[in-house]
């Protein structure tokens, strides 16, 4: 009981410290950035603002992104980033600065950031201060009860609504301080979370913005899916032409030779029959491998969990698979998830120098969630970088998941571990 109370007090003190930090940042940084933004915008007609506005607004966005990070790590409040990307062919020089300023000012998220700065330095400041005040202010009540009231004996000191001028009123201040302390223990965390929820109302994309971004993302991923499908068809055609088809043609020629030699040279015909039998077995193996690459039989017959376990058994690295799937997803979703996991496992086995890999599959809140974690050297990056996982592998997984409105997240500090997390919205049968 005492340990639980101590942990609760420690957690509340941490929350109070975070609230105090937020209040200082809200009062200092938010006010400074808002004033700088207003001044910079007013200088645009003079030409100076064209050079200062992008710098100031980038600082505002970094400040907002830092708040998004704190919201996610401190209170588990997710605030998506709504900013429109800059075009790749953005020009340099004065013309480029004018274009950059224009694009920033046309982005609705810019003006919502400025509104958030106003809220952060007012209502957000109050919500951030309260968790700290509820933990610090009771100390004054304890001090008054301990004898500080004697300093104010001739002129009562008001502790909230309690006039303290005697030991009795000092004890009343102590009782009020205890109540406030317990209120801080109970409501400090929710108040901090409310601060971030208030920030989310302005920092998150609006419904129209979210819909617009989703349409853009789906359009992009659909194009990528079409390109991927066409590339896959070309690969299948190439594999058939160079593999099974070539063996079948050779086997047909051997059978024609056998037919001509069956009576003239039976021993040679027998050897050619053995060769034809070997060719047919190799062609069958290649066809099975090709079919497995298109849609593994174990995936169709036994589902995603068993298919991933079968993948793990073939890896040269010790792999532990945990599956909590009460049903099965649709076949296209299962196929996308299977090949995404396969790519992630291949990356970990080939490049991470890992000794152990952990795979977790579960379904919650309408999402199929998959994590692949290895204890390797880290350095993974989506579509770039110099780490062992860098390159097109993770980017390919991202494209595959994007076809189903899924997302990919990678956490891979230098030295490891690496965690690749995949989410696909779907329902289980």
Same domain (yes/no): 104, 116: yes
Give yes or no for a contact between 361 and 370, defined as CB atoms under 8 angstroms apart: yes
Domain count, the chain: 3
Q: What's this model's pTM, rounded to 2 decimal places?
A: 0.56
Which residue from 301, 302, 295, 291 is spatially nearest to 338, judged by alpha carbons?
295
Instruction: Based on the fold, state whether residues 197 and 113 are members of the same structural domain.
Output: yes
- pLDDT tens for the chain, 429 residues long, are 555 657 776 777 788 888 888 888 888 899 999 999 999 999 988 888 888 999 999 999 999 999 998 988 888 888 888 888 877 777 777 787 888 888 889 888 899 999 999 999 888 888 888 888 887 777 777 777 777 766 666 677 777 777 777 777 778 877 887 887 777 778 788 888 999 999 999 888 877 766 776 676 666 666 665 665 566 666 666 666 666 666 677 777 777 777 777 777 777 777 777 777 777 777 677 666 655 555 567 777 888 888 888 888 888 888 889 988 888 888 888 888 888 888 888 888 888 778 889 999 998 888 899 999 888 888 777 664 444 444 457 777 887 787 787 888 888 787 778 888 889 888 887
Are 304 and 283 in a shared domain? no
DSSP for 308-363, please give it.
HHHHHHTSSSEEEEEEE-SS---HHHHHHHHHHHHHHHHHHHHHS--SEEEEEEEE
Residue 31 sits in the same domain as residue 105: yes
* 150 and 31 fall within a common domain: yes
Q: What is the CATH number of the domain that holds 337?
A: 3.30.565.10
What secondary structure letter does DSSP report for 426? -
Are 313 and 372 members of one domain?
A: yes
Please tell me whether residues 169 and 219 are part of one structural domain: no
- Same structural domain for residues 13 and 94? yes
Question: What domain range is 154 assigned to?
Answer: 1-205
For residue 269, say if its preceding peptide bond is cis, omega within 30 degrees of 0: no
Q: Are residues 305 and 397 in the same domain?
A: yes
Q: Which of 205, 235, 268 is the last residue of a domain?
A: 205
Do both 343 and 275 map to the same domain? no
Look at residues 294, 310, 345 and tell me which one is the last residue of a structural domain: 294
Is residue 417 within 8 A of residue 407, CB to CB? The reply is no
Last residue of a domain, one of 142, 170, 205: 205
C-alpha radius of gyration, the chain, whole number:
33
Q: 253 and 334 share a domain?
A: no
Could you tell me if 197 and 216 lie in one domain? no
């Amino acid at each position: 009981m005492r340990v639980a109370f101590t942990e609760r007090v420690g957690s509340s003190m941490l929350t109070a410290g975070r609230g105090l930090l937020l209040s200082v940042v809200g009062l200092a940084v938010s006010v400074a950035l808002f004033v700088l933004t207003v001044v910079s915008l007013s200088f645009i007609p003079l030409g100076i603002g064209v050079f200062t506005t992008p710098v100031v607004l980038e600082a505002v966005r970094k400040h907002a992104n830092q708040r998004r990070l704190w919201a996610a790590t401190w209170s588990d409040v997710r605030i998506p980033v709504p900013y429109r990307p800059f075009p790749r062919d953005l020009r340099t020089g004065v013309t480029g600065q004018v274009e950059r300023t224009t694009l920033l000012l046309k982005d609705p998220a810019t003006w919502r950031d400025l509104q958030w700065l106003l809220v952060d330095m007012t209502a957000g400041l109050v919500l951030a201060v309260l968790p700290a005040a509820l933990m610090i202010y009771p100390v004054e009540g304890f001090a008054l009860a301990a004898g500080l009231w004697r300093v104010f004996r001739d002129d009562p000191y008001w502790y909230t609504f309690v006039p303290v001028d005697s030991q009795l009123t000092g004890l009343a201040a102590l009782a009020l301080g205890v109540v406030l302390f317990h209120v801080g223990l109970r409501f400090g965390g929710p108040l901090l979370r409310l601060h971030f929820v208030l920030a989310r109302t302005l920092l998150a994309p609006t419904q129209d913005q979210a819909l617009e971004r989703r349409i853009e993302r789906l359009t992009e991923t659909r194009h990528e899916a079409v390109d991927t499908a066409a590339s896959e068809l070309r690969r299948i055609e190439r594999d058939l032409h160079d593999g099974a088809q070539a063996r079948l043609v050779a086997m047909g020629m051997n059978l024609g030779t056998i037919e001509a030699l069956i009576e003239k040279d039976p021993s040679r015909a027998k050897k050619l029959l053995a060769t034809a039998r070997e060719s047919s077995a190799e062609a069958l193996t290649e066809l099975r491998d090709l079919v497995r690459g298109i849609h593994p039989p174990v995936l169709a017959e036994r589902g995603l969990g068993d298919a991933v376990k079968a993948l793990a058994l073939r890896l040269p690295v010790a792999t532990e698979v945990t599956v909590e799937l009460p049903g099965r997803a649709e076949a296209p979703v299962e196929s996308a998830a299977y090949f995404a996991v396969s790519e992630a496992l291949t990356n970990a086995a080939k490049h991470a120098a890992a000794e152990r890999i952990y795979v977790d599959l579960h379904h919650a809140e309408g999402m199929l969630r998959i994590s692949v974690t290895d204890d390797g050297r880290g350095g993974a990056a989506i579509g770039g970088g110099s780490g062992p996982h860098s390159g097109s592998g993770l980017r390919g997984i991202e494209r595959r998941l994007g076809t189903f409105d899924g997302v990919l997240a990678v956490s891979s500090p230098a030295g490891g571990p690496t965690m690749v997390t995949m989410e696909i919205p779907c329902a289980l049968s």
